[in-house]
Chains A and B, each alone.
Chain A
Amino acid sequence: MISLTVNGAKHEVDVEENMPLLWVLRDVLNLTGTKYGCGVAVCGACTVLIEGAAVRSCSLPAGLVSGKSITTIEGLSAGGALHKVQQAWIDAQAPQCGYCQSGQIMAAVALLSDKPKPTDDEIDSVMTNICRCGSYAQVRAAIHAAAGT
């Protein structure tokens, strides 16, 4: 049994210690907003926040985050109000197919909590998520809008 705190709710899950958090979220807790893209920490589709820091959950054994605070895309809009990053994403019409966007948004939330006014270079170095649809220009614009830069 592993005890996980996801979006403020506590869950006891009967899974292997080495089962990646991504699959616990998706297949055990049915929180499917967090996506699988590569499984080897290179695409960012599975990004979640662990204690506020962006982490690629496909390569993170669930056993390691027992007791830590985990936030997924579903938990971002607390009490129904959209997070300012989500709102900026809508205003910029950033998603195309949308598949990469949960990960992009979680990475951007972490970036902005770290660096509230990021430069383009800082965005480039932190936002390494892959978007196959090529929504990068809109994602960049949304980050700047959310930051007021």
Chain B
Amino acid sequence: MVTRRMFIVSGIVASGGLAIGYALMPYTTLGRARKIAGKPDASMLTTWVRIGTDNSVTVIVPHSEMGQGVHTSLPMMLAEELDADWSLVRMEQAPADMAFANVGLARGFLRGDKSIPGVLSGPADFTFRKIAELMNLQLTGGSTSVRFTGVDGMRRTGAAARAMLIKAAAQKWSVPELEIVARQSKLTHASGKSATYGEMATAAAELDVPSNVQLKRKSDYTIVGRPIKRFDIPSKVDGSARFGVDLRLPNMSFAVVAASPVFGGKLKSVDEAPAKSMRGVRQIVKLPDAVAVVADNTWRANQALMALRPEWDEGPNAATSSASIFAAMDAALDAGKFKSDFSIGNVDAALKDARKVIGHAYRVPYLAHATMETMNCTAHFDNGKLTIWGGFQDGLGARAKAAKFAGIPIDDVTLNHTAMGGGFGRRGSTLNYLQHAIGVARQVQGPVQLVFTREEDMTQDYYRHGSVSRMNAALDDKGKVTAWLHQFTEKFDPPEATMVNYDFANQASRYVKGLNPIPWGPWRSVDHTQMGFFIESFVDELAHEARQDPFEFRRAHLSAAPRHKAVLELAASMAGWDKRPAAGQARGIALREAFGTIVAQVAEVALTKDGRVRVLNIWSAVDPGEVVNPATFTAQIQGGAVYGLTAALYGEITIAKGRVMQRNFTEYDMVRMGDVPRHEVRFIESGAPTGGAGEPGTAPIAAAVGNAIFALTGQRIRELPFKNFDLKTGTRIAAL
């Protein structure tokens, strides 16, 4: 019977690492998968696809849909290789079970792929988890879905299933396999014999998975590369999509929670009296670091919660502020006890010998994720077993954490995925909402839905860290960079986010760590968000110092990076870089590689009457290797740029007395329709290994806009967000 051979077949077991992974698995993958996802009238051909006798093709996707279109693009990849009739293809999200672990991702990790995503790097157990834990991955983040699951899993699975169907037909009809044509979910033979995939599925399921499968040539694709309509969209225009917060169960209670406003604080005491008698209130639940009110609806729970005056033991962060954090960062950079990030050549010597050295310091603040659906989770304890409902970027990881929080074996935890109202890294490994829901549910009869108010969501996030960066570089007489020294605070993920793709002769990157007292979490594109701003703004400064055009300067330093060069050139030509912008407007350019995808962006800006920046146009040239669904990929690049633009223009979380000061969108403003520039996206499909879609669009935008502001006003703004500055004079107008 087919057990592990699928993975052997697909080459995933090529390295010893995954063999260990199998040894760690307490059951055969396929048997388990079949039990969970199999339906009585369907044959499970492989882990990721089910072909019904009714000829339906159900693709089982191990990732969560957050709006990035993965529930459609992964089935597209499988259906392409299967030669399925797309109108018969359906999608089901896999349950949070080991049988659907993201083996592709683990493989990418084991073979040393550098772009392992930020969601892996939880605040507590960051860096390299044990392989055993890796095998638990089912995460959606770091733009991994299409890159790993799609390429390694879906494609080969589809091709293997097709081969098995052909083989089954060949046996039944006593004809050679080579004479059978498989197309549009149908098998045909020149003799006139034909069968649907569904008719052959049961026979095919008896066969072993082929030891080698042939993947299609790109030129033969009929599904991949087309703007196929997403499966999930109809339910998102009529209110029928069920997000975590929309779950309604019989006898359900609603809970609203307030955790210690100071990070790391504990609940000292709370007088329950003011809330207890309020209408609808069922219970007041104390947790070590929080208090929650359980009521018959969300609003009543919140009214009662607001009536409470909990006392907190504020702990060691009671005096922490943005000012104290940044002062500590500056002091640490002054002290110079660096960890080496990477080093090429001899940067110290090159700087010493240089005729011209340029140095500047940059800085970015903390940021919250602010997903539109606030954090929430529904939990139910029943006879010692726990059932969870919610949106999780890593279902298996969340299930394992739930078991830990509840102190019960993982087999006693069932996790049900719901639609997610945004993830951006927040719903990965940072699970305070899960922990609180479990803490409340174990003290409550029946299921309880715990919801963060927007204020709780914004003040109890895991934040993109603030950081300071000091950059130094040397230029020779011809305007070539001979030394590049980047020293900064904090390094999380991915490791290569600090790299530059330019052929600078001597480079070093160094950092100091341990300066961040605030809960950290991966935020769309993770360290690229700040590295994109630091590096690409400073490169622009170097171009200016070298008296060169910023596009030509970059281009001249890309001799060893032909893909980057092509992307840069495309962006410039899309923007008409060689033509002068209209009066009162200027352009800036930036280039980044993030998660395997290279993006160059040109931003065109003007100033409003009150001196604020208005971004009019963005042109993005993108090389992700290949594009599975151009419509969703374009939307991801555009959406990623909006996310990054919000951070560049407005985004700032500040800390005072250990607390987050911004509590709602009133104080943490967002880019809205009126701020959104026209944004043209074009792709180069270089055929390089597939890169991510969700995050690369975020990385260069702040630098592109900052560089355009410089081109317009001559002011170099070295700190985000831009709203804090008078852009005409470059002076800070907001208090620190």
| Chain A residues close to B by CB (< 8 Å) | 16, 19-20, 23, 26-28, 30-40, 42-43, 45, 72-74, 76-77, 82, 86, 89-90, 93-102, 105, 123-125, 127-140
Contacts and interface: CB of A to CB of B under 8 A. Distances in A.
Contacts of A136: 638, 642, 671-673, 676
Interface of A is mostly: loop
Given A132-B422, A136-B673, A98 B299 contact: no
Contacts of B453: 39
A98 B670 contact: no
B372 A131 contact: yes
B297 A135 contact: no
Contacts of A76: 238
Interface of B: 65-69, 227, 229-230, 232-243, 245-246, 248, 254, 279, 296-300, 370-374, 419-424, 451, 453-454, 631-632, 635, 638-643, 664-666, 670-674, 676, 678-679
A90 B454 contact: no
14 contacts: A16-B279, A33-B239, A35-B372, A38-B664, A86-B237, A86-B238, A90-B234, A93-B233, A97-B419, A98-B233, A98-B235, A128-B674, A132-B670, A137-B635
Given A20-B299, A86-B237, A100-B372, A130 B422 contact: no
Given A16-B279, A97-B372, A138-B635, A133 B422 contact: yes
Contact of B639 (A74, A102, A135): A135
Contact of A128 (B233, B297, B643, B673): B673
Contacts of B642: 131, 133-134, 136
Contacts of B296: 27
A45 to B, nearest CB: 6
Contacts, number: 184
Contacts of A123: 673
Contacts of B298: 23, 26-27, 36
Given A72-B239, A134-B639, A98 B67 contact: yes
A142 to B, nearest CB: 10
A30 to B, nearest CB: 5
A96 B635 contact: yes
A22 B670 CA distance: 22
Contact of B238 (A33, A45, A99): A33
Contact of B67 (A32, A42, A89, A133): A133
Interface of B is mostly: loop
A135 B371 contact: no
Q: Which 7 A-B pairs have the closest CB atoms?
A: A33-B239, A134-B642, A96-B67, A99-B421, A98-B236, A134-B639, A97-B67
Contacts of A97: 65-67, 371-373, 419-423
B256 to A, nearest CB: 11
Given A32-B246, A33-B240, A93-B631, A42 B666 contact: yes
B461 to A, nearest CB: 13
A100 to B, nearest CB: 5
Contacts of A137: 635, 638, 676, 678-679
A134 to B, nearest CB: 3
Nearest to B632: A93
* Most A-side CB within 10 Å, residue of B68, B238, B639: B238
A51 B206 CA distance: 62
Given A26-B298, A90-B233, A138-B635, A40 B664 contact: yes
Contacts of A73: 238-239
B236 A95 contact: yes
Contact of A34 (B239, B254, B297, B370): B239
Contact of A82 (B68, B238, B243): B238
Contacts of B643: 132-134
Nearest to A87: B237
